[in-house]
């Protein structure tokens, strides 16, 4: 329920800032940017929310630094590491697919790796700050970047189809 405040703010931000700006650039730009916005809103939901209602309490708990040993849970047989790895990969596949569409194809694999790494690093550093029940892990960074690479590979594979779809959206009045 506390996440509702965050979603209301994201909705207001979309309507009064982004929707107007993207609509002026065409229906294709509006469609792709809106899909990315909704996707990133859900990434925030699953990784950081509630944010706004947590802000007054961010200094009420200690900050646990990031685990820098990759795949330590796997090697020690702790928790549901396979589920976590798969979910982290799945979470960033849309990012790797959608980013080239937003950037008008002016993006390559190196940029996808960089942008996915920066997105994931931001989330991992903020998680323990915003909520004391969250932790950050280098494994998440690695698996998120892998998801971005898979998404970009899917973009390359489906590039002719996405180009055709976006052209048809652009033509719709």
What is the reported pTM? 0.89
For 65, the token pair is 């630094």
Average pLDDT, the chain: 89
- Tell whether the torsion through CA atoms of 108, 110, 111 and 116 is positive or negative: positive
Neighbours of 100 (CB within 10 A): 20
Helix locations, the chain, DSSP H: 3-13, 19-24, 27-47, 72-76, 81-102, 109-130, 138-171
pLDDT for 107-120, tens place per residue?
999 999 999 999 99
């Amino acid at each position: 329920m506390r996440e509702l405040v965050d979603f209301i703010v994201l909705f207001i931000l979309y309507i009064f800032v982004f929707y107007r700006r993207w609509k002026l650039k065409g229906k294709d730009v509006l469609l792709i940017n809106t899909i990315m916005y909704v996707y990133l809103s859900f990434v925030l939901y699953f990784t950081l929310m509630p944010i706004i209602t947590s802000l007054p309490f961010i200094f009420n708990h200690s900050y646990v630094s990031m685990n820098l040993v990759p795949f330590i849970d796997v090697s020690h047989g702790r928790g549901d590491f396979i589920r976590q790895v798969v979910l982290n990969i799945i979470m960033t596949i849309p990012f790797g697919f959608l980013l080239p569409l937003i950037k008008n194809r002016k993006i390559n694999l190196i940029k996808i790796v960089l942008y996915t790494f920066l997105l994931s690093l931001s989330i991992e550093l903020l998680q323990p700050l915003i909520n004391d029940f969250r932790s950050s892990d280098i494994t998440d960074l690695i698996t998120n970047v892998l998801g971005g690479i898979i998404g970009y590979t899917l973009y390359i594979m489906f590039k002719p189809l996405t180009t055709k779809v976006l052209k048809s959206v652009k033509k719709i009045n």
